[in-house]
Amino acid sequence: MTSTTRDQTGSRPMGRDARRLIAVELPDAYRGALPRRILDATFDHIENLSFRDLSPERLKKQGVDTVVAPLLTRTFDAVELAEYLAAHAFGGLLIIASEVLPNAKLVQREIARSAPGLNVELFQLNQDQGLRGV
């Protein structure tokens, strides 16, 4: 587990308005592409966690806005993560990153369907141009 805290203004304290992101088991290959393509400078705190370290208490206590994760890992898949977040009333955005898929819109709909009320976005890693949204 690693954590990075950023203060955009140089003096703004981490407070209720700070934007927080949790990256769940994000592969190194995606970490380099995501900050350039998806994550903007408005995140004040980025934490990298394993799926087993993700907890409702951590989501609530830290006021997490966004969770980003790969489509599939050895320990979980995007549907399991979406269901977990929805079951624990996560009100933020779930960003799923994947390799290029033949029918990405279908995959995104299935993930969203598994967790009604959860805002889900799917981004594909294009070998030539980094990540692209669906």
What's the mean pLDDT in 53-65? Answer: 88
Query: Residue 39: what pLDDT?
Result: 60
Of residues 43 and 15, more confidently modeled: 43
Region 65-73: mean pLDDT is: 94
pLDDT tens-digit profile of 113-133? 999 999 999 988 875 544 455
What's the burial of 129, exposed, middle or buried (CB within 10 Å: 0-12/13-18/19+)? exposed
All structural domains of the chain, each given as residue ranges with its CATH number in brackets, are 2-133 (3.40.50.2300)
Q: Is 35 helix (H, G, I), strand (E, B) or coil?
A: helix
The SS3 assignment for 57 reads helix
pLDDT tens for 4-25 read 444 444 434 455 566 788 999 9
